[in-house]
Copies of this chain bind each other. A is one copy, B any other.
């Protein structure tokens, strides 16, 4: 967002602002508490809340907020508990609601939207561009979307429809429509005169798109080439034709990788007929990469979605349940595997103390393998050519680990229970289970990828299920054969 309002300061340390807002909120809360403590009749209390002091705090807070950049207000809203968040949200100028709703995380956005009525929401959405409205759309009530749609121009309606038609993880979802396009047969001077008619160019305009008379994309004209070259030059002589073109149905991740590889600031989005339909800018790519990285971390811990840290206990618990339920099932299964060897354990109770070691280390090792494989898959580094090679390598590492750490564990078992055969069973079980871990750690993400699913989601539950049950089975099985 271009900073047109000089009052909205950029800030190096947004935490400072958060603290100041918190202090103001405290003064406010303190005052309210004093009033409540006095146990006055309801009306009198309301009168008191309206005192001058109270008004001063609110006014101070409002002033503070007016001076902040929308992204900073979004940051502060995220860091405040629900009641305080809504109090601050009420104090934000209505005409800034839209841009702030775009900035906050989805979880916090829900809480803000829930506090607004139809008119407020329509007004907020009305301040936004078509591509931004499309981002908000899933969270807006239907009647609000109808209001918004009615208020748009025909061109904007077209854009909104287009933006909403693309899958969430496609280039179309990252795209905006704020691109400037020109023809290739004019001089730079004509281009400059055309550009001067704008008060301000759309942000991230590092280049202007060149199209032919049928709106077909033919190349880009970087702003700095306009600046560096003489005004008499013709666009077609200065423009770059060998440039990256994105397509709206492409995976967003692929576009992100292009931005990284080629250090882009903006890139044209072109449909199958070669027509320029929009552009993607680096700020959106940055947000996309950060969000993806966060959701990877969240998924690894089995959190279905981003969690508002101040969400209700009930809501947070639901976010975490699928994962715990799944893990409970695999734990029950592993428990039944052990159950089959109760007779063995009864005779040699040391097995019960040692079995979690066999299961645990193989699980850790398998997760290391999977992490490496998932990363290489994401980078597209795994080809049919090298998959076999990788399997051999992971097996070799596991064999090495099995001998080294299995050996250590075997010695541990021997020194505790003075049984050489127990030590050997321990080492063999570790070695075998580590090999199992290597195979599943490699196979599960590869198979999930083949099936078209995201290998980062759920791999670790399956792997742990197999290394746990497998570990118990191998260890107790070997013990039944060789020790009893």
Contacts and interface: CB of A to CB of B under 8 A. Distances in A.
Interface residues of A, number: 137
A357 B381 contact: no
A190 interface: no
A226 interface: yes
Contacts of A334: 356-357
Given A71-B262, A227-B223, A405-B328, A10 B244 contact: yes
Interface string A328-350: 10011011101100100110011
B335 A354 contact: yes
A261 B346 contact: no
Given A79-B381, A368-B301, A263 B352 contact: no
A320 B401 contact: yes
How many copies the complex holds: the figure is 2
Given A10-B242, A286-B259, A360-B331, A371 B22 contact: no
Interface in A64-83: 69, 71-72, 75, 78-79, 81
Interface residue SS majority, chain A? helix
A296 interface: yes
B345 A352 contact: yes
A12 interface: yes
Nearest to A201: B224
Contact of A412 (B254, B323, B332): B332
Nearest to A389: B81
Interface stretch (A30-38, A161-169, A302-310): A302-310
A237 interface: no
Interface string A242-273: 11111100100010011111111100000000
A12 B331 contact: no
Contacts of A401: 317, 320-321, 324
A405 B326 CA distance: 11
Interface stretch (A122-130, A132-140, A150-158, A203-211): A203-211
B400 A317 contact: yes
A418 to B, nearest CB: 14
A287 interface: yes
Contacts of A224: 195, 200-201, 205, 223
A297 B445 CA distance: 15
Interface in A1-54: 1, 3, 6, 9-12, 14-15, 18-19, 22
A358 B328 CA distance: 9
Contact of A409 (B226, B262, B328): B328
A447 B344 CA distance: 43
Contact of A383 (B18, B229, B245, B265): B18
Contacts of A393: 310, 313, 316
B228 A198 contact: yes
Contacts of A361: 324, 327-328, 331
Given A265-B204, A265-B282, A368-B303, A380 B332 contact: no
A379 B15 CA distance: 10
A416 B224 CA distance: 75
A207 to B, nearest CB: 11
Centre residue among A352, A371, A401 by max chain B CB count within 10 A: A352
B353 A261 contact: no
A178 interface: no
A405 B331 CA distance: 12
Interface of A: 1, 3, 6, 9-12, 14-15, 18-19, 22, 69, 71-72, 75, 78-79, 81, 192, 195-196, 198-201, 203-206, 223-230, 240, 242-247, 250, 254, 257-265, 282-283, 285-287, 289-290, 292-294, 296-298, 300-303, 307, 309-310, 313-314, 316-317, 320-321, 323-325, 327-328, 331-332, 334-336, 338-339, 342, 345-346, 349-350, 352-357, 359-361, 364-365, 367-368, 370-372, 375-376, 379-383, 385-386, 389-390, 393, 396-397, 400-401, 405, 408-409, 412, 416, 468
Given A195-B228, A298-B371, A342-B350, 16 more contacts: A11-B244, A15-B380, A196-B227, A198-B228, A200-B224, A260-B287, A282-B286, A285-B286, A289-B290, A309-B372, A309-B376, A309-B386, A317-B401, A339-B416, A349-B352, A352-B355
11 contacts: A10-B242, A12-B247, A12-B254, A196-B227, A200-B225, A293-B293, A317-B397, A320-B401, A324-B365, A325-B405, A336-B353
